[in-house]
Structure 1
Amino acid sequence: MAIVLVTGATGFVAGHCVRELLEHGYQVRATVRDLDAVGRRTHLVELADRLGGAVEFVQADLTADDGWDVAVKDCDYVLHVASPIPGGGEESEQAMVEAAVEGTLRVLRAAAVNPTVRRVVLTSSIVTVNLGHDVDKVCTEQDFSNPDRLTGYDKSKALAERAAREFVDGAPSLGFDLVTLHPPMILGPLLHPQTNISHEPVIRLLGRTVPGSLDVGWSTVDVRDLARAHRLALETPEAGGQRYICGGEHVWMREMAGILAAEFGPRGFTVPSRTLPHWLVKLAALTDDTVKRVVPALGTRERVSAEKARAELGLTFLPVAQSVLDTAESLLTHGIVTAPAPRRWTRRRRTA
């Protein structure tokens, strides 16, 4: 039975990768930053019990060298899903870049001295493909974002992929090859009460913490499809050395609002239906970092092609409406968004 190391196993994507691997008979070893934080991995233990598998937990932090040799030892494959995100603010950009780059190199160095490792799959991002280009076009795996035109998280992901490829290309005698996956907005159900930035539009629309939709749209992928892409990237011999965009159907935020309103309106939710003007969004961005991040994308469609992943990995994508609704149901189940209180009707007293 092949052993697969999954880094950052308590994260949203990594948890679904663990599930996918267990469902297909793999033995899973999972890194966590703190072995004593048992509560953060309870859902994975329960998942393994339900699927009849087992997950071995090891302690390893991307910001430190300790633990990685032990984590990788005897593994056949590595899914490097984790990506450290230090605190916000401009002063943290260098720390974010260093953490992403050095963390990726720590995993690769550990794999390099372990003769059993055959392939490393790196969870990158669409931001390493489709940003900073002078020409408006449909981006493919041939495109690389220019890190000099990026900031913050986007820059850290681009430089981490570059560092990974330079490491592998500079050591031709390595016993493993590298595959990188490039997902856009990741939707789908939570395995435990932990969200990421991709959940924000659904959280804000369903929780009505915004007065309307922003004029933005995204290529999307369901986390269950993305987990499957990780497994397929391990199992497809021809995938070695390749990049794969894992971007499915595009959705505008206003379309997302319509999907949510149709399902949850009859259940008492009031989902805002209007689209906010650009000037108002830019004003809100002055005090909201999440909104600030999408201002450059106002009015633009995210144009990427996943034909390579479809053709070479056999990847398919769930309909975006299903992903949006499953995300919403999951947010309610885990208490991230609360249902509105039932309306109380009072009978008016008739007066003479």
Structure 2
Amino acid sequence: MSDPNAATPPSPPSADLVLVTGGSGFLGAHCILALLDAGHRVRTTIRTPARAADVRQQLAAGGVDDPGDRLEFAIADLTSDDGWADAVAGCRFVLHVASPFPSSQPKDADELIVPARDGALRVLRAARDAGVERVVLTSSFAAIGYGHPPTDRPFTEEDWTDLDSGRPLSPYVQSKTIAERAAWAFVAAEGGALELATVNPVGILGPVLGPDISTSVELIRLVKEGRLPRLPDVHFGIVDVRDVAALHLLAMTRPEAAGERFLAIAGEVMSAQEVALLIRGHLGEAAGRRVSTKLMPEWMLRAVAPFSRRVRDSLPDIGTVRRATSQKAITVLGWSPRSREEAVIATVDTLPTYHPRSR
């Protein structure tokens, strides 16, 4: 195993060792914090040794200055088989959090689909071969609520995004759906004793620990800084990153979670305008003055779309409301998420400390 710190050798196999893939990411870092707080030892994958410092900086921002020998690093990438056998060695559980999530959609959907699908299968295959008890895969509401005709019914874990509906689906939506379906198919056909659970969050917000921010957090930054003079008429679900991490731990340890999907959302969806109004009110009159709450008419969006990929990507969602429910996670696992408002405000309050770069 590659240890970028080279200070101590990897810890010996233990039933208490958990692998987190993508520990330098927004959700990955919060999962590490939750695991350390729960008393687990953690090994996390990073693509290059230099990323170890990023992980440690985020943990420090989250209140863990020195995890000592309870944190290890392994070099592995979703696009290569190299390193995965060493990464999972001795682990009882795996949280597979790493997945491509671009700030804009690529022209070729395979740029997202291939690493998401093949990366998940690499992790699952290595976990099975190493005797890992359970893998928790971070999927997405994107694998649940798209490609369907308009409905007022809340989506649940029983729903799957319809890739053959003929409705426009972004490369990201396709990648999450294909990757999760491939994971379930692998475990059913070749998984042996390996257990799988998935967590399917909506837009993840909450405390920002470092400069690598998610696409959802980037939207909050743009609104806060007044860089969206007019808002698209879009609606989206919100969940706090700390609660998504907590749900991963519940899905990892609770026996009844094996073989199940768990949708993560805090309450009802919000419109971009509602989010902007919340941010404006929280910042106060002076700082909130630059936050626009004006909607962009659809005709204007369509006029701008040829010149902005971000706007083009949003067009299929204009005016569409996709409701969802986390009743299963609440009832089966006892999950109790923070409010959507708290998630938004926590994001706003932690953004000024950093100079964000979208991942």
Is this a same-fold pair by TM over 0.5?
yes
Q: Is the aligned partner of 1:39 residue 2:53?
A: yes
Counterparts of residues 205-220 of structure 1 (less than 5 Å): 205-220=223-238
Classify the secondary structure of the residue corresponding to 1:286: helix
Report the Cα distance in structure 2 between the residues aligned to 1:248 and 1:71, rounded to whole angstroms.
33
Within 2, Cα distance between the matches of 1:85 and 1:206? 22
Match of residue 259 from structure 1: 278
Q: Of the candidates 177, 183, 186, which is equivalent to residue 158 of structure 1? A: 177
Quick check: 1:221–1:248 contact (8 Å CA) kept in 2? yes
Correspondence for 1:59? 75
Query: What is aligned with 1:312?
Result: 332
- Tell me, yes or no, if structure 1 residue 111 matches structure 2 residue 131: no
2:73 counterpart SS class = strand
Q: 1:191 aligns with which of 209, 222, 238?
A: 209
More displaced stretch, 145-154 vs 303-312: 145-154
Cα distance, 1:77–1:38 mapped onto 2, change above 3 Å: closer
Counterpart of 2:5 in structure 1 is: none
Question: Does the CA-based 8 Å contact 1:104-1:164 persist in structure 2?
Answer: yes
- The answer on whether the counterparts of 2:29 and 2:55 sit within 8 Å (CA) in structure 1 is no
Q: In the alignment, is residue 283 of structure 1 matched against residue 299 of structure 2?
A: no
Alignment of 1:10-159 (within 5 A): 10-44=24-58, 46=60, 48-49=64-65, 54-85=70-101, 90-115=106-131, 117-134=132-149, 136=151, 137-149=153-165, 150-159=169-178
Greater CA drift, 124-133 or 296-305: 296-305
Cα distance change of structure 1 residues 169 and 313 upon mapping to structure 2, 3 Å threshold? same
Please name the residue that 2:254 is paired with: 236
Where 1:248 maps in the other structure, the secondary structure is coil
- 2 CA distance for matches of 1:22 and 1:298? 41
Paired residue type of 1:234: M
- Cα offset for 1:87? 9.3
The CA RMSD over aligned residues, in Å, is 2.0
Structure 1 unaligned blocks of 5 or more: 338-352
Describe the SS at the equivalent of 2:324: coil
CA contact (8 A) 1:77 1:234 kept: yes
Query: 2: distance between equivalents of 1:245 and 1:215?
Result: 24
2:136 and 2:199 in contact (8 A); partners too: yes
* Structure 1 SS opposite 2:199: strand
Aligned equivalents of 1:76, 1:186: Cα separation in 2: 27
Q: Is the 8 A contact 1:29 1:58 kept in 2?
A: yes
Alpha-carbon deviations, 1:235-279, whole Å to 9, x = none? 210010001110122211111111111121334332112222111
Runs (4+) off by over 6 Å: none
Of 65-74 and 79-88, the range deviating more from structure 2 = 79-88
Kindly name which structure, 1 or 2, has the bigger radius of gyration based on alpha carbons: 1
C-alpha distance in structure 2 between counterparts of 1:53 and 1:44, whole Å: 17
Matched residue type, 2:246: R
* Alignment CA distance shift 1:62-1:251 (3 Å): same
SS of the residue aligned with 1:49?
Answer: coil
For the residues of structure 1 that align with 2:65 and 2:294, how far apart are their CA atoms? Answer: 45
Range with bigger deviation, 259-268 or 155-164? 259-268
Kept in 2: contact 1:14–1:82 (CA 8 A): yes
Contact 1:193 1:336 in 2 (8 A): yes
Q: Which has the higher contact order (CA 8 A, sep 6+)?
A: 2
Distance 1:104 1:86, change over 3 A: same
Q: 2: CA distance between counterparts of 1:230 and 1:33? A: 22
Cα 1:313–1:165 change in 2 (3 A) is same
Distance change (3 Å), C-alpha of 1:284 and 1:42: farther
Structure 2, unmatched stretches of 5+, are: 1-14
What SS is found at the alignment partner of 1:205?
A: helix
User: Do the aligned residues in 1 keep the contact of 2:235 with 2:270 (CA within 8 Å)?
Assistant: yes
Percent sequence identity over aligned pairs: 36
Map 1:305-344 onto structure 2 (within 5 A).
305-336=325-356
Deviation, 1:111, is: 0.7
Count of paired positions: 335
2:264 is equivalent to residue 246 of structure 1:
yes
Q: Shift in Å at residue 90 of structure 1?
A: 4.8
Aligned partners of 1:17 and 1:227 also within 8 Å: yes
Give the aligned residue type for 1:2.
D
Give the C-alpha shift of residue 81 in structure 1: 0.3
